[in-house]
Every structure is written in structure tokens, then in C-alpha cells.
Amino acid sequence: MSIVVRDVHAHELDSILELNNAAGPSILPLDAARLRHLHDTAEYFRVAERDSVMVGFLIGFGAGSDHESSNFRWFQSHYSDFFYIDRVVVASRRRGGGVGRAFYADVQSYAEVRHPLLTCEVFLEHDNDPVRLFHGSFGFREVGQHVMPGSGIRASMLVKDLCSYPWVRETYGGVLPDEPWLGRPRVPVRTPEETKA
């Protein structure tokens, strides 16, 4: 009954799309083309399995990304360096079973050696008190609110200070040791035009 968090495989995108679009109003729906774009550009895209069955996924981007989300752009306008959780989805039948905490421990472990802040948003329009409580218990705090253009959805913008980052930066600068447990950023897929440049 253990939870395994691992890198996504491209052949799993149909299952991920189904999970995303069944998540309810607290997660924006996706189409296959948008999900493929996220797969091809995300710095962090991992899935969780329980008993060899996929039960969720988390997608994230570093501050230097060209990610198109208005919430990501809001963080870019307020902070010079951060890691952004674009979306985290846990299958409804698995919520409350530790999958979200496993994801957040994994993404924090990845981010804290690279960035001073972990960021995300929670929609305020829906009954999201359990989600807000989850984030508060994980050390996030609200630093502002943002109304998403086009949808009119108001989001609570959350940050968590990553206390390991200053020591890592002072000790290693911008070059982390080559350790398998550190993980590596995913390499975005390049278009044929970018490959020629």
C-alpha cells in the first residue's frame, strides 16, 4: 500500500487527461493538445502510484520558464526566483490517503535545492477549505490574490519559504553535485525550429 512518485511517461497522457478533467471545479480542464504542451515543457511532471495504479500527478515550472499561466506570470511579477506548482491532481477515491503529502514532499525536495520559494494557488470560488487547510498545514501562506483573465476566477496566491535553499546556494552556488537522489530537471522537448537555432 505504499505510494510511489515517479517521472511521467508519454503513453500515460490519456490517463492523466482523464484524471485532470474528472477532478472537479478546483482544477481547470485541459484538452489533449494543452496537456501535451505541458508534458513537453514542464520542468517537473511526476505521477503517483498506489498498488501499481496511477492515482495522481503534479506539474511544476521554475521561475525562468516561459509558462503561459496568468497565475505563474503573477508570481513572476512579484518574485525573482521560485518554483511554481501548476497543478496537482489526486483521484477522488484516493484523497485523504497521503498522496498529496507524498507529492508535496517530493516537489519540495526537488525545489528546495534550486529555489528559495515554492508557490501555488488555490481557487477561492469553490468550497476549497480542505485544500486551503492542506496548504496551510504544509507551511504555505497567502501573499495576495489574483483574478484570472477570461475566467474571472479568484485565486489565493500561496508561497512557502524553502529554508534549505540559502545553505545550498552558499555551499554549491549554481552547480549541484551529481547525486542521483537530487533528481534532474526534465529537458523540454524542442521544436524543429528551436533545434536548428
**pLDDT tens track for 121-161:** 999 876 667 888 889 999 999 999 999 998 899 999 999 99
Regarding pTM above 0.95, the answer is: no
> Rounded mean pLDDT of 56-73?
95
Q: Is the pLDDT at 191 greater than 50, yes or no?
A: no
Which residues face 60 on adjacent strands?
44, 85
Instruction: Return the number of other C-beta atoms located less than 10 Å from residue 90's C-beta.
Output: 21
> Rounded mean pLDDT of 172-196?
72
Per-residue pLDDT, 93: 66
> Rounded mean pLDDT of 153-181?
92
Q: How far is CA 20 from the centre of its chain?
A: 13
SS3 7: strand
**Average predicted confidence (pLDDT) for the chain:** 89
Q: How far apart are CA 165 and CA 114, in angstroms?
A: 7
Per-residue pLDDT, 195: 46
Please report, rounded to a whole number, the percentage of residues in the chain having pLDDT higher than 90.
68
Per-residue pLDDT, 127: 67
SS3 26: coil
Q: Is the pLDDT at 38 greater than 70, yes or no?
A: yes
Radius of gyration of the chain from its Cα atoms, rounded to whole angstroms: 17
> Rounded mean pLDDT of 155-175?
94
